[in-house]
Chains A and B, each alone.
Chain A
Amino acid sequence: MSASLASRPLRAEVYLSTAQLAAASSLRPEQLARLIRAGLIEPRAPGTGEFTLSTAARLRRMLRLRRDLHVNLAGAAVIVDLVERLDQQEIELGRLRRAASA
């Protein structure tokens, strides 16, 4: 794998429409609309009707947690938030450890 020098951003962020996000998550549009109304899924900015790919990833994760652990989606959203926070801390901790050992 060879890496090339990049000056960012190389690709504009891809946004999904509500219909695309529903299709990507195997949800019916009205199911997705409910999640959006409940505030469990948020558009990239209010009123845009556009969603980031990380929102799509987050939604898929929530759906997996519901399917596998029988939590409801509100609970899954909390879990996903917490896991994201842990991920950040894990990355930060790794960075600090490397800095300390360098």
Chain B
Amino acid sequence: MAVKFRDYYGVLGVPRSATADDIKQAYRKLARAHHPDLQPIAERGRAAERFKEINEAYEVLGDVDRRARYDAVAAGHASGADFTPPSGGPRAGRTARPGGWQDVDDAEDVSDFFASLFGRPRGGGRGGREGRVVFPGADVEAELTVTLPNVLRGGRHRITVDGGRSLDVDIPAGVRDGTVLRLAGQGERGPGGGPPGDLFLHVRLAKDPRYRIVGHDLEMDVPLWPWQAVLGDAVQLDTPDGRVTLRVPAGTQGGRRLRLRGRGLPRPGGRRGDLHAVARIRIPERPSAAERAAYEALRRAAAAQAERPARGTA
């Protein structure tokens, strides 16, 4: 059986001539730096792998007999090279037990390379598996922020949960800010091999300054030039569904709500609420000479009419 050679000196970052104390120091330092329980949440999974390598390396180099046996076979091998273990198989005697991460009572898994030289540690070395009690795993909470277009269409999101595991989740259309989704069986593993808990995903709706949410309806402002409001126009409107054409009727006052039916948020029954475009009259900040002249003409025309009661203030 050919296995991949492992460069344990390289893993611990010490030369082959290192003393036992050097090796111990290097190991302690690496163990502190890479212990999975001390890493940021997203890096725990990766750290567990690295930590296992570090432990395996120390399990060999930290033991005089194993180190000698390793040195004897290691000469001339590069890390990752194919390695054929010497005949005779693993030496009998004390079985190694590198500290793996997992649960404290899990069988430790070692590399094939390690096993080819020193044997595979027997699982359940801490009192056996009999009489073990099995529990469901704990539930886990996570948060996901989605955008309005995501909410309207639903869609797949990749989330990363504790331990660095990532998960593709189909978010159903119509979730709201604060909706909690349950992903059965995606929580923590059960101690002793029990069923895993559930993952509760709290949905947050990303703030979008363009839209306001009112129940199942959406509201947005549509800026209109005075002449568009007075004469009517068709304007392009960017909605969460994409660009639509909004017909602005002649004589649209500021604040008037123009309804786009069925373009709001999904309702439980499957129908959707409405989108209200609220007319906001804007005026040119720097009118050109021609525009100014036009407005002055407008003033004269207005003055010629009898005083009209002004409704609202501009």
Contact = CB atoms under 8 A, between A and B. Distances in A.
Contact of B101 (A1, A16, A64): A64
A54 B138 contact: yes
Contacts of A56: 135, 138, 191
Contacts of B221: none
B284 interface: no
B117 to A, nearest CB: 23
A48 interface: no
B63 interface: no
A26 B126 CA distance: 7
Contacts of A19: 133
Nearest to A95: B143
Contacts of A24: 133, 135, 191-192
Nearest to A62: B37
Contact of B169 (A1, A61, A87, A102): A1
Q: How large is the interface on A (under 10, 10 to 19, 20 to 34, 35 or more residues)?
A: 35 or more
A78 to B, nearest CB: 12
Contacts of B104: 25-26, 60, 63-64, 67
Interface in B180-208: 180-184, 186, 188, 191-192, 197-198, 200-201, 204, 206-208
A8 B198 CA distance: 12
B198 A68 contact: no
Contact of B182 (A3, A54, A91): A3
Contacts of A23: 131-133, 192
B167 A1 contact: yes
B40 interface: yes
A45 interface: no
Nearest to B36: A64
Contacts of B184: 4
B96 to A, nearest CB: 15
14 contacts: A2-B172, A3-B171, A4-B181, A5-B181, A10-B198, A24-B135, A25-B104, A26-B127, A53-B135, A54-B138, A56-B191, A65-B37, A86-B40, A91-B41
Interface residues of B, number: 52
A54 B135 CA distance: 12
Contact of A3 (B131, B132, B183): B183
Interface of A: 1-8, 10-11, 14, 16, 19-20, 23-26, 53-54, 56-57, 60-61, 63-65, 67-69, 79-80, 83, 86-87, 90-91, 95, 98-99, 102
B142 to A, nearest CB: 9
Contacts of B31: 68-69
A36 B168 CA distance: 40
Contacts of A83: 37-38
B112 interface: no
A70 to B, nearest CB: 8
Contacts of B37: 61, 64-65, 79-80, 83
B35 A65 contact: yes
A3 B181 contact: yes
Interface string B152-178: 000000000000000111111001000
Contacts of A4: 181-182, 184
B236 interface: no
Contacts of B182: 3-6, 10
B191 A60 contact: yes
Given A5-B182, A23-B133, 11 more contacts: A1-B167, A2-B170, A4-B181, A8-B180, A56-B138, A57-B138, A57-B188, A65-B35, A79-B37, A87-B41, A91-B143
